Structure 1
């Protein structure tokens, strides 16, 4: 009987046990925050922050799942545990009451955009578009508390309303504003009137979730700086610089280089006649 028990024990030890399941992390963000986050034509999440968190998952062997929605929903999901991590947002005292802010991701500048031909004095009685629950709402409430505002669920909705003539001004992060104005073919119709703020996007988890906070902190150390720079340049280059001017510059450089090369070739082949 003893020998049988020992034999069974050896058999159990010999059977390979399944490896530990890959850890999952649900990252949430606004679904219309191009070029940082959006849903492409195939229904898949795409953008700067999507690539950023995919890289985080790859280097840390973590299965990253994305949960995208309206801005206020993303805050509620983290607060109630329906999402583990907010993919990137600005610090405010109000948010800090229920969120634990962590590592910086990138800096963003924002501005107040006003319909061409108007200025700040012209729109004193007109509401300024902001994203409900977003930092733009926090900015207007603290900088111009008496100015009327009009909230929108997402930045895309806000800028589309401006292009359609429903509002005459809005506050937005500059990469997002430039992206959507270009997308709606409205470049030049809204001009930057005032710099609003410059802030840092940070990771955030629900207050008290020290396990998630530690997981993100430890994983941050494995991120590759070169890869992160590539991801940023991939998504921000065409937003911070007008594409038309960029292409013109590239073509001009190419023409100059071609002419210079042609002159060198002709100069080598041409021999002046002897007198």
Structure 2
């Protein structure tokens, strides 16, 4: 073999080895929605939690991956993944998303439900024409209603966990969101009178969306998923996270929906304390 060709071959091998080493040591940047329990969310301690994150951590342990978490507003999270600013985000698979991201093998099959009040049953999306429908901005329901050209008045909400509150307040006639997220929100937020008003819609595979520039992660996530499945660990995680028992004692999980209300509660407390101090000042003053 000519010396020049041998040198080029050795240089290529060195570069490939360095690239592999860098990818193995650089943390995998994980994105998600901070308010999407029980699948993924930020707990009261600020740590990433939920079923998706438990599965991903299991894969990371098996594959020797280091994870870093950068949760944020959902639409922006998807844009960051497409630009390569994130590496992995759990999500529903759709035709549109397959044009933007790579995907691992699915590890769940999930569906959506329409929720409303008053017992009006909806058999077909065409019945939503002219009606106010709350959805998460950038979410699967938002994407589907637009692609299907459903003539509804969409009310976008940034946090899917708060979509049903639009119906409870009367600001929307219906809300379309994943069935499990809706049922958990009703139970945890005490949304009386809000109930499913359709059969399951939008049944889709659920998987890890992957940075298009990191095809190496597809094989590693798939290998990790296969290992966890073979060991029965994914089923155990499903039982723990997706089939919660009554009286669940996971404070991080059960307090997730209070987080958006914290600033309001603090402001009210400050106002109350200030009002009491002012009242004591008036009582303590003697008439001139």
Normalising by the smaller structure, the TM-score range is: 0.7 to 0.9
**Per-residue deviation, residues 33-79 of structure 1 (Å, max 9, x unmatched):** 11111222222221111111111111122112222112112211211
Residues 144, 80 of structure 1: CA spacing in aligned structure 2 closer, same or farther, 3 A cutoff?
closer
Matched, 1:27 2:24: no
Point out the more displaced range, 143-152 or 163-172.
143-152
- Partner of 1:195 in structure 2? 200
Query: SS state of the match for residue 107, structure 2?
Result: strand
Q: What is the distance in 2 between the residues matched to 1:234 and 1:138?
A: 30
- Partner of 1:261 in structure 2? none
Name the TM-score, length of structure 2 as normaliser: 0.69
- Cα offset, 1:191, TM superposition: 2.8
- Cα offset, 1:221, TM superposition: 3.8
Q: Is 2:130–2:151's contact at 8 Å kept on the other side of the alignment?
A: no
Question: How does 1:245-260 map onto structure 2 within 5 Å?
Answer: none
- Partner of 1:38 in structure 2? 41
Q: What is the distance in 2 between the residues matched to 1:96 and 1:38?
A: 24
Residues 145, 59 of structure 1: CA spacing in aligned structure 2 closer, same or farther, 3 A cutoff?
same
Matched, 1:237 2:234: no
- Partner of 1:112 in structure 2? 114
Q: What is the distance in 1 between the residues matched to 2:243 and 2:26?
A: 33
- Partner of 1:95 in structure 2? 97
Q: Is 1:171–1:196's contact at 8 Å kept on the other side of the alignment?
A: no
- Cα offset, 1:160, TM superposition: 2.2
From 42, 64, 67, give the equivalent of 1:64: 67
Query: What 5-or-longer segments of structure 2 have no aligned partner?
Result: 1-20, 248-288
Question: How does 1:148-159 map onto structure 2 within 5 Å?
Answer: 148-159=153-164
Higher-strand-fraction structure: 1
Name the TM-score, length of structure 1 as normaliser: 0.72
Q: What is the distance in 1 between the residues matched to 2:168 and 2:150?
A: 25
- Cα offset, 1:233, TM superposition: 0.7
Query: SS state of the match for residue 167, structure 1?
Result: coil
Q: Which has the larger radius of gyration?
A: 1
Query: What 5-or-longer segments of structure 1 have no aligned partner?
Result: 1-18, 245-275
